[in-house]
Structure 1
């Protein structure tokens, strides 16, 4: 019987989406500028920035996050997420620790990911690096 691939560790986490403010250039939410982030899920931040709703507060939690932190996690706009989200790799996803990932996981009482957490996760399942 073939081995069942391990799930991506982020699918049982969601800590980064409930720890950091997610800000990005306003054009990422402007369809006339080629933006793909749904503008209704964002709010103005500064003159050239927008923020994902829910992330610019004392206890951040992205409006697009469907998760029980540490149990399951799903981004409702993963294919249209802001570049700032795509730029944060999970620790050891690409062979190195990620300070942002580790900090978010520790803040939610989760251990930092280790290289072994990626055993069995096919390369095709890992998030592509941002372009």
Structure 2
């Protein structure tokens, strides 16, 4: 019995486009308006307690420890083994954050594995 390859419906593609654009947009906002902007960086380092400073501190800790890239890589490996829309969405979010927030190598490999997941058959449904 031959399984069909993993394919997305048009609604799933639209959902992934929205999730991808929102994720990369937020990562760009964090990178260019919270992490790299010197006035915000000086204010946050001086002790300002706003949501931007907290998001900046959290994202800085996560990308210094390569959490975005490692998470994207693990989810992408799971997606290659057993493709699903949930794993694809999680991998897309983690890889999008990782590409923009300095975890380029691991996130790039994860994106390649996510694409490779389309060559695998979908899980059998009963």
Q: Could you state the TM-score of these two structures normalised by the residue count of structure 1?
A: 0.27
Higher radius of gyration, 1 or 2: 2
Query: Normalized per residue, which structure has more strand?
Result: 1
Q: Tell which has more relative contact order, 1 or 2 (C-alpha 8 A, sep 6+).
A: 2
